[in-house]
Chain A
Amino acid sequence: DTGVSQDPRHKITKRGQNVTFRCDPISEHNRLYWYRQTLGQGPEFLTYFQNEAQLEKSRLLSDRFSAERPKGSFSTLEIQRTEQGDSAMYLCASSFPRGYRRAETQYFGPGTRLLVL
């Protein structure tokens, strides 16, 4: 079990550029989550996939953000036309399904730290 992995670990970009992050969940986990974490705050939910279906999106996820999980395995999060306010740690988590979809343990990856100059 290699855990949740994310790539890259760090990204520095200029305002207006597009960036893409990748998340590989734990292999048997079919649920995948994206969070954003800023300094001094807890993780904030962005979006959630069950297999390849994107089931929930937060109001934090503006039109510039798009997430995909094309084959139900790895996921990508793209931010278009980055702004300085997008600077944050982007965390991915995955969970193993329980029959009644409650109280699943989410295992987090190491995150991608984004800095927009």
Chain B
Amino acid sequence: QQPVQSPQAVILREGEDAVINCSSSKALYSVHWYRQKHGEAPVFLMILLKGGEQKGHEKISASFNEKKQQSSLYLTASQLSYSGTYFCGTESTYSGAGSYQLTFGKGTKLSVIP
């Protein structure tokens, strides 16, 4: 089952903040966040491991709540360059066959306007 991302789309003005959520029905070992611009490859942003960690990457940070099986990506003081589709990829704690695959959500389209 793929993780559920919300919102599906969001429009921001430069300088505004946004939160993108990723929720799974499975127990998670890790959550991987990517940004993809139209026609380009997904670009790795950060990875969070179980243990409830929080990470930052410039003005983009994320948290992972393994008990709730949720992760959130925080974008602060958004810039035009942040526009794109954000995907979370999840890795479950299940250790059987196929367990090391990343399962991606449908993405959240972020548009930053001047």
Listed in ascending order, the chain A residues whose CB lies under 8 Å from chain B are: 4, 40-45, 48, 56, 58, 91, 101-103, 105-111
Q: How many residues of B contact A (CB 8 A)?
A: 25
A107 to B30, CA, bound (A): 16
Footprint of A on B, CB under 8 Å?
A: 2, 29-30, 32, 34, 40-44, 47, 49, 87, 89, 91, 97-98, 100-107
On chain B, the residues within 8 Å of A103 by CB distance are 29-30, 32, 47, 49, 91
Question: How far in angstroms is the closest Cβ of chain A from B97?
Answer: 7
Contact A107 B44 (CB under 8 A): yes
With A103-B91, A107-B44, A110-B40 given, name 8 new contacts (CB 8 A): A42-B2, A42-B107, A43-B104, A48-B100, A48-B101, A91-B41, A102-B30, A111-B41
| Alpha-carbon gap, A105 to B104, bound state (A) | 14
Question: Chain B nearest CB: distance from A65 CB in Å?
Answer: 16
